[in-house]
Structure 1
Amino acid sequence: MTNQIARGGKSIYGAPLGILMLEARFPRIPGDMGNGTTWPFPVLFRVVRGASPERVVLNGARGLLPDFIAAAKDLVDLGAEGITTNCGFLSLYQAELAAAVGVPVATSSLMQVPWVQAMLPPGKRVGVVTVSAGSLTDAHLDAAGVPRDIPVAGTEHGREFFRVLIKAEKNDMDVALARQDILDAGADLIRRHPEVGAIVLECTNMPPYAAALAEATGLPVYDIYSMVTWMFAGLRPKSW
């Protein structure tokens, strides 16, 4: 029998991806980033206390950077080899988190926009569906490498998604109404910007509705699931 040496240095093994979670109580259905069954690989979760969706999305995450850095460092100490976050609006902290933790960091699904744009034919553009178009500033876009004039549609005027996830008006959610809010935002995006050839979903709670949106629009749809599974593929390349 060949001698084997097991290497130590971590607290937890087999879960190389760490997810920084906002503090919220809404339902996290399968497909949501905060549902453990969403991922085809083990992940480590860490809730950042005080980082409510309303504070992060509507108030620019002001004052929360030290808390996110501390939580990210904790995940790395536990064994995470890459860090991502539970809100696309945390692109604001991309540079600071990447500099602080010493492992790859992908704060926002919006970081996919340049990749997707590079795949599109001439004359076509990436469009973004976000939980709150009114809160998505040039600073968020700049931090993720997204053009400031990108077509955007939000869900803040819908009936369910925004008021449950961001305003925390209740702890339950009508999934059909939430899905319709996403479809309505996608339809609005295409109506105002017919040149859109692919959609990136900013919000990490939107992947459960990505397939429905792709079917309704006939366009490719990318989200935090597509980005994180790509990121994981680099952390754990398949052995052939």
Structure 2
Amino acid sequence: MYYQKQFLTQTHLEKVGIRPGSNYKIAGASDEYGCTELDRLWSWEVRPDKPEAVYEIQEKQMIDTCVDFCRKNPSIKAIMLECTGMQPFARAIQQAIDLPVFSWGTILDYAYSVVAHRDYYGHV
């Protein structure tokens, strides 16, 4: 899920090793799904002087967007949330679509776990 798909180019994908036309789908939360609360935070065209969004509205918009996107693309096996404004809703999205959800948060959690291991618990 990309914030504004209109700004994503093939060059962006190629530079990170994604082959054009390979097995991926991209949607724009703002330009395709109209997530207005994201725009209130990120879009210079409509963002108020004090950027703010209503958490509950943005959460519902993100869930509805991802549910619809997955319904239209049943072969999807995971979601990647591109924008930092989306990651607070990753858990709610995951609960709604029952698929892995990746975000900046999962990348940061992984990097942090490499340098600061938690105490082990669980089965051996």
Report the TM-score, using the length of structure 1 for normalisation.
0.42
Q: Which structure shows the higher strand fraction?
A: 1
C-alpha distance in 2, partners of 1:189/1:158?
A: 13
1:105-163: CA deviations, max 9, x gaps?
Answer: xxxxxxxxxxxxxxxxxxxxxxxx11112222112212222343321122112222124
What are the residue-to-residue correspondences of 1:107-186 with 2, within 5 Å?
A: 129-149=1-21, 150-156=24-30, 157-167=34-44, 169-170=47-48, 171-186=51-66
1:66-112: CA deviations, max 9, x gaps?
Answer: xxxxxxxxxxxxxxxxxxxxxxxxxxxxxxxxxxxxxxxxxxxxxxx
| Cα distance, 1:166 vs structure 2 | 2.3
**SS of the residue aligned with 1:211?**
helix
**SS of the residue aligned with 2:83?**
coil
Aligned to 2:108: 228
Q: Which amino acid aligns with 2:107?
A: M
| Unmatched 5+ stretches in structure 2 | 120-124
Computed over aligned residues only, the root mean square deviation of the Cα atoms, in angstroms, reads: 2.1
Q: Which amino acid aligns with 1:195?
A: S
C-alpha distance in 2, partners of 1:153/1:161?
A: 14
C-alpha distance in 1, partners of 2:47/2:117?
A: 43
Q: 1:195 aligns with which of 56, 75, 100?
A: 75
**SS of the residue aligned with 1:154?**
coil
Structure 1 vs Structure 2: percent identity of aligned residues? 24
Q: Which amino acid aligns with 2:101?
A: V
| Cα distance, 1:215 vs structure 2 | 0.8
Larger radius of gyration: 1
Q: Which amino acid aligns with 1:159?
A: T
Contact 1:142-1:148 within 8 A present in 2 as well: yes
Aligned to 2:117: 238
Structure 1 residue ranges, 4+ long, deviating more than 4 angstroms after superposition: none
Using a 3 Å threshold, how does the CA distance of structure 1 residues 144 and 204 change in structure 2: closer, same or farther? Answer: farther
Aligned to 2:122: none
C-alpha distance in 2, partners of 1:212/1:222?
A: 13
